[in-house]
Amino acid sequence: MRVTVTGGAGFIGSHLVDRLIRSGHRVQVVDNLVTGLREQIPEAAEWFDGCITAASTAEAVADFAPQRLVHLAAQVDVRISVNEPVHDAMINVAGTVAMLDAAQRGGSLEAAVLASSAAVYGVQRTPLAQEGHPIEPISGYGAAKRAAEVYWAQMGRLHGVRTPALRFANVYGPRQSPKGEAGVIAIFCRRHAAGQALTVFGDGTATRDYLFVYDVVDALWRVADAEDARDVYNLGTGTETSVLELTEHIERISGRAPEVLFEPARTGEVARSALDAQRAEQTFDWRAKTPLAKGLTITYAELTP
């Protein structure tokens, strides 16, 4: 099967590409290496170096004529989305639409999977956010992801393509970049291993639902071929972990206490987040299987050799 993975040189994408290649699929990787790494692209993959907003990239995708599209490429920094909303929307909305349009113009597309985010919910009103939770994003990133979901579903209906979208919790694991706020676990692991202080924004009580990357890849693998998966689905563990609890986990793993510095909370960030993933379990038999302690142990060992 021909599969196009945008952002395939990045954190999540490279793990997915590895699995697709091992399973014998022909894989096109689209990545401009702004955050991705060339060495994470397998030699067996067909790499196109380009931005998802460029006409040349769209033509390359159309020429490849994928049967499956997995769209992971994105601008993921919440701060940039707040300070530069036009730039964020160009990539996360216009770029998303361009990739799905190009893939369907290839003439062979059967299913396209969109990587969305828990950021679409904004301030969480319930202990666990289900897919029916009010959509009230407080950052440009969350607004762009919601707009992308709407386009994704509309274009699927228009062209007769199955277009599920996955709302990720906070994904972590091996290969995660320490650059940018989205990689808090990678930042903490690398800084602690180097003997540097860990910066906590706010009072450290803000919580996130931390989801191991291998579980995300398993979901992408399953949903791409699940004929009944045509909606939007949360991916999460359903467990909240505070930033201060993360530092405690790192202390247990490393055997030494980190130095923690506190800075003011950042604009556009929610105080708490955890996702109910029952719909994903019921539709394509997916559930998160990696406890945080195990995932953090693997991640710390991989990121701090």
Name the residue among 201, 273, 211, 212 with its Cα closest to residue 243: 201
Please tell me the number of Cα atoms within 13 Å of 271 on its side-chain side: 7
Q: Both tokens of residue 240?
A: 């909240």
Q: Is 264 buried (19+), middle (13-18) or exposed (0-12) by CB count in 10 A?
A: exposed
Catalytic site residue 141? yes
Q: Spot the catalytic one: 121, 141, 172, 300.
A: 141
Name the token pair of 20: 């697709």
**CA angle centred on 114, ends 108 and 115, rounded to 5°:** 145
Just list the catalytic residues.
141
